[in-house]
Structure 1
């Protein structure tokens, strides 16, 4: 009897210890999942809390117009609601001494197709000549290299309403109607037969399609997630501006296209090809034309131009040197296998070639600003050695061909690179 009681006590103690060990194991697993989710949120530029995520993109930036630009963004997460969302940000520029802000909200009207209706009000700056696709995924960088040297901005107050819809996980779309009051921060006049427009209003419809035919997707608790990053990927966008709609000043249209293709094993040696093109017709002001994403400061010597290289920018092309109403750029990058110096120290060399071609009709309509055309074809080549020290590396690029400059040093760009992955 005694032995039986002792045996039962032993079994109970063993079961209790096993249960406690099991509970500790589960708790450790939960903590590990929470930590991974937290690091992933930080990598995407969020500091997560229970119901809200702080948007870190607005914490600290610098450009030539605002100098230091600082602020904070906020948006609701799925714990707050999976049917409604609110997003906002407020920033301040120390050189222009102005606040900029945005307030937006969305409601999901169909879960199966991830269909959302959104509305927003924004009072901020935009880079003249830049193009952003509506369907682009959120991109977060610790700092944006090109932004440091941009000087040509225009103010805009934009009211917008949009519809997001996924026909399939591989085909996502967004359509937006917006009206914007635009005021360039630089001296500019758009000369049309009726008058010279120094500030103006646009009312436009923009529609974009993101097609990823070779990617794979799986359903999760938070929606469809891409589990295989397949290539090539294609993005199309059409914009139509209507004159006299909500006091709009111009009729013009734009068609933009981008494709990205990767070949090889991204953990070893691989190549990346990016093709971007756009065409605009009608009365298109400079603010809505195209540049080729230049990233070279307008200073005399190589050392004075020493800055940080962008991810997909033309490093030897000077800011505001070219604008086009029709353009195409081709970029080829070949990533050599990382140099396996130690388990943690693995620098990587990247060979780069970029080409741009463009043209512009009636450049004389754009007054008080001087720029060239890309009709002869612009070429630069070079290399990067990345992750030499705490994510920093070095970049060397050389400008040659039709737009080769008389002074040899003006064709050279020598810069930092910065690559960090959480």
Structure 2
């Protein structure tokens, strides 16, 4: 817990300093306007997790992190920007984990083959860790926060050496696509064996193809200075991703398929309140190892008391679900959030109440294939509800969640999660 508080304190101090960089009021109007534009561009870069240094954008994601397997993880990374070229880019990072005493790195780049459709060919070589059971969409916009709450408590990682080539293409303003071909060498860092056809695998190779589509039919776009910009972020949004693993291609061991789907709906009310609904679903078939199956975004530490489990709430995670408690080869989650209008106590102090309910259901057909690790399945509906009071002090707040329904635990306090929240906007 002390490690959690130390990391949170450092991040909060740094972001509070960035957010309070004043502009001198003594400059003339033209200088103020110019500085305002520069500040807006700077804050946009910071909001996306970058600091520009000449023709290179330093990536803030790699400066410092903490998790249960690596301990503190620190390094440098970034990508070249348009000052170097608008037609190609070079990106990479190098990090070091102090607990596992191991370097990780990635090197890659891309070149644009069509400006109007923003079509890029991307290449990458990565030697790093990935959380087992995690699932991401290729077409997701870069998502950056100064602090990643779930990362603090994750301990189930697999190492992967991945070579990939991808095609990023804008079919229309409303429809984005990304395709990737990749080969990976997978080595779980925990005791795990995947049993298949009288053979047991503790390491394996996977060759896969991924096609991802993101559709935003209600967003509005406008041509500004020969660039198409999104002027209205419309809802609902839909994302669909298909993954196919190929056996015996470049030495691949398994043949499997995955289909992932997400939709997000948001209602903006007249009183400045917001209601948000997020539905996520996934299904995996064939010879799929645990590394490529699904968890349901758990974020609770396996400790005896509420105070020992006190950490930081995630943005879209199940706060009462324990890490590595459930895995599924097909699952769906539903999250309902209602953000009340912030309480304007003063210009600088405007806490916000958020009501939250989360539900998950899933299953696993061939659970006996996965040996060496114990977990449950989600045949019954998992339910939790609670609230957050955000932005009480320097972006910090508090959250409370209670677990009930099909997976309610016998000990009352084991169903309770009481945590920090951390929210800051620039």
For normalisation by structure 1, the TM-score amounts to 0.93
Matched, 1:253 2:257: yes
Query: 1:62 is matched with which residue?
Result: 66
Matches within 5 A, 1:324-363: 324-363=328-367
- Secondary structure of 1:62 counterpart: strand
Matched, 1:268 2:272: yes
Query: 2:76 is matched with which residue?
Result: 72
For normalisation by structure 2, the TM-score amounts to 0.92
Matched, 1:403 2:407: yes
Q: 1:273 to 1:296 in 2, by over 3 A?
A: same
- Aligned residue pairs total 400
Query: 1:393 is matched with which residue?
Result: 397
Query: 1:192 is matched with which residue?
Result: 196
5+ residue gaps, structure 2: 1-26
Task: Compute the displacement of 1:344 (Å).
Answer: 1.6
Matched, 1:135 2:161: no
**Which deviations, in whole Å up to 9, do the C-alpha atoms of 1:51-94 show, x marking residues without a partner?**
11100011010000000000111211111111101111110000
Q: 1:269 to 1:373 in 2, by over 3 A?
A: same
**Which deviations, in whole Å up to 9, do the C-alpha atoms of 1:267-316 show, x marking residues without a partner?**
82110000000000000000000000000001111000000000000000
| Cα distance in 2 for residues equivalent to 1:142 and 1:315 | 20
| Cα distance in 1 for residues equivalent to 2:227 and 2:138 | 19
When Rg is computed on C-alpha atoms for both structures, the one with the higher figure is 1
Report which stretch shifted further, 263-272 or 275-284: 263-272
Query: 2:95 is matched with which residue?
Result: 91
Q: 1:87 to 1:265 in 2, by over 3 A?
A: farther
Task: Compute the displacement of 1:206 (Å).
Answer: 0.3
Query: 2:8 is matched with which residue?
Result: none
| Cα distance in 2 for residues equivalent to 1:217 and 1:202 | 39
5+ residue gaps, structure 1: 1-22
| Cα distance in 2 for residues equivalent to 1:31 and 1:346 | 27
Query: 1:15 is matched with which residue?
Result: none
Q: 1:91 to 1:236 in 2, by over 3 A?
A: same
Query: 2:49 is matched with which residue?
Result: 45
RMSD of aligned residue pairs (Cα, Å): 1.3
Q: 1:219 to 1:85 in 2, by over 3 A?
A: farther
Report which stretch shifted further, 170-179 or 262-271: 262-271
| Cα distance in 2 for residues equivalent to 1:267 and 1:167 | 36
Matched, 1:306 2:326: no
